[in-house]
Amino acid sequence: MKTLAPSILASDMLYLGAEIKKIEKSGSKYVHVDVMDGCFVPNISFGMPIISAVRSCTDLVVDVHAMIVNPDKYIKDFAKAGADIITFHLEALEPKRVMETIDAIHKEGLKAGISIKPGTDVKELIPYIKCVEMVLIMTVEPGFGGQKFMQDMMDKVRFVREVAEKENKELDIQVDGGINNETLKVAMEAGANIFVLGTAFFKSETLIDAEKLLGE
């Protein structure tokens, strides 16, 4: 499965309902919701009320990207608000709480994703690859939309894909940050299959066609 995951961080919040309809119309299967706490990242975005609002107006997969400290404290709240996938950052927790967080997400019946920032060694993900449904490789420093794609993160994508294949694990690999028509192809070739688009989706003059972009 390949899909776009348009990020509402770049959308017009005043017309969030209409922006979500645009995502549906594009043929994307996911809506990416960037939760930022001003602590794990130097920016504050939105939280539970927005996740609930998104959930109330679509059947798309609600893909929550939690850029927050202590994500384990909020799993139940994310679930209640209507998340389908919760991705948290490896750097946001001490190691012994990482597995507990994955288990807590699964207990809610949701898919678990784990993410690393550009500066984090991809090998740190090894113990968790077999336990999660998705790995998110950040291709910018998390916190803001509109940044430049970091091509050197593709080694991490290739590495995670190799580990998953060796372990016979069906795994989604998501890339997030600076994804557009060109960088999407680069990431796809490296082994990614879920592509977050903020600026490239919402600032485009014409509606993005997911099938076309994914080459299907």
Q: Does 171 bind ligand DX5 (CB under 6 A)?
A: no
For the annotated catalytic residues, the residue numbers are 34, 176
Report the amino acid identity of residue 118.
Answer: P
* 20, interface contact from ligand DX5, Zn ion, none, CB < 5-8 Å by kind: none
Half-sphere exposure of 37 (CA within 13 A, CB side): 14
* 147, interface contact from ligand DX5, Zn ion, none, CB < 5-8 Å by kind: ligand DX5
Q: What is the DSSP letter of 152?
A: G
* 6, interface contact from ligand DX5, Zn ion, none, CB < 5-8 Å by kind: none
Nearer to ligand DX5, 71 or 198 (CB): 198
Q: Which stretch binds ligand DX5 (CB under 6 A): 92-100, 119-127, 141-149, 186-194?
A: 141-149
Q: C-alpha distances in angstroms, 108 versus 37, 48, 112?
A: 22, 16, 10
Greatest distance between any 2 Cα atoms in the chain? 46
- Give the span between the Cα atoms of 124 and 102, in whole angstroms: 15
Q: Which residues make up the interface to ligand DX5 (CB under 6 A)?
A: 7, 9-10, 32, 34, 65, 140, 142-143, 145-147, 176-179, 196-200
